[in-house]
Amino acid sequence: MTVVERREVALVDLLDRLLAGGVVITGDITLRIADVDLVRIDLNALISSVNKNVPAPWGDLV
């Protein structure tokens, strides 16, 4: 085993790295009965940290 293979990363450190760069989650859900699409949901989510260097995308609402 190399040093990289033995390295353990805590869940908190992993979440910190993901939120620092941002994560995009996408998905499609289709409810279908007898080959007839009844409901279709498209999911798009951007999860990121917000601070002075990276302002919120919706601006100031207050």
Question: How far apart (Å, rounded) are the C-alpha atoms in residues 44 and 24?
Answer: 7
What pLDDT digit, counting tens, does each position of 35-52 carry? Answer: 899 999 998 888 777 777
Asked whether residue 32 carries a pLDDT value surpassing 70, the answer given is yes
Joined together, the tokens standing for residue 27 give 């998905």
Looking at the domain assignment, is residue 57 inside a domain?
A: no
Residue 53 lies in a domain: no
**Looking at the predicted structure, is the pLDDT value of residue 3 above 60?**
no
Identify whether 55 is part of a domain: no
Q: Which of 5-14, 20-29, 52-61 has the lowest mean pLDDT?
A: 52-61
Which residues constitute the domain of residue 11?
3-47
pLDDT at 31 (0 to 100): 93
Task: Look at residue 60 in the predicted model and tell me its pLDDT.
Answer: 66
Going 12 to 14 to 15 to 19, the CA torsion angle's sign is: positive
**Count of C-beta atoms within a 10 Å radius of residue 38:** 9
Domains: count for the chain: 1
